[in-house]
Amino acid sequence: MVKLYIENEQDKIPYDEFYGDTVRRAVEAALEYEGVTFSCEVSVTFVDNERIKELNSEYRNIDRETDVLSFPTGDTGEGVTLGDVVISLEKAKAQAEEYGHSLEREIAFLTVHSVLHLLGYDHETGEDDEKEMFRRQDEIMDKLGITRG
């Protein structure tokens, strides 16, 4: 159903193949939850804070690091590329420590969040949209069984 491309383009956090497994589970859970039955492609790239800051500045005119960026293609038909997800593994690790949960949970959450963006959800377009997107995120994370602890 989903063809997933995962790249690690950072060397600040030791990369574990388990991160890719977490991404795959999160992508598949989000697509299943949303009823996506067509074949599609998603690209996920792990970067460091410096690189995600550059991308955030270039594409959003926000000159600071962030945890994740989503680049939807806008396509939702059969056999399409849904888009690209870029995760700062460095920022994800710091947030996992700050929130007191595992890096696995943070990676899964950021992936689910981004897949929803790829599918057209946007929490920045209003309070109702934000509530709807966050509800979906929570339900998908519950389905994954990845807890906050």
Number of domains making up the chain? 1
Residue-range definition of the domain harbouring residue 96: 2-144
Q: What spatial distance separates the first Cα and last Cα of the chain, rounded to whole Å?
A: 31
* CATH value at residue 87: 3.40.390.30
Band of pLDDT at residue 148, cut at 50, 70 and 90: low
149: in domain: no
Q: Give the pLDDT of residue 3.
A: 94
32: in domain: yes
Read off the pLDDT of residues 69-108 as tens digits, 9 standing for 90 and up.
Answer: 999 987 666 668 899 999 999 999 999 999 999 999 999 9
pTM: 0.92
CA-CA distance, 19 to 101, in Å (whole number)? 15
Using CA atoms in the order 113, 17, 39, 129, what is the torsion angle rounded to 10 degrees? 0
Residues 6+ apart with CB under 8 A from 114: 44, 68, 69, 70, 85, 87
58: in domain: yes
Q: Within its chain, how far is the Cα of 95 from the centroid?
A: 14
31: in domain: yes
110: in domain: yes
For 112, the token pair is 């689910």
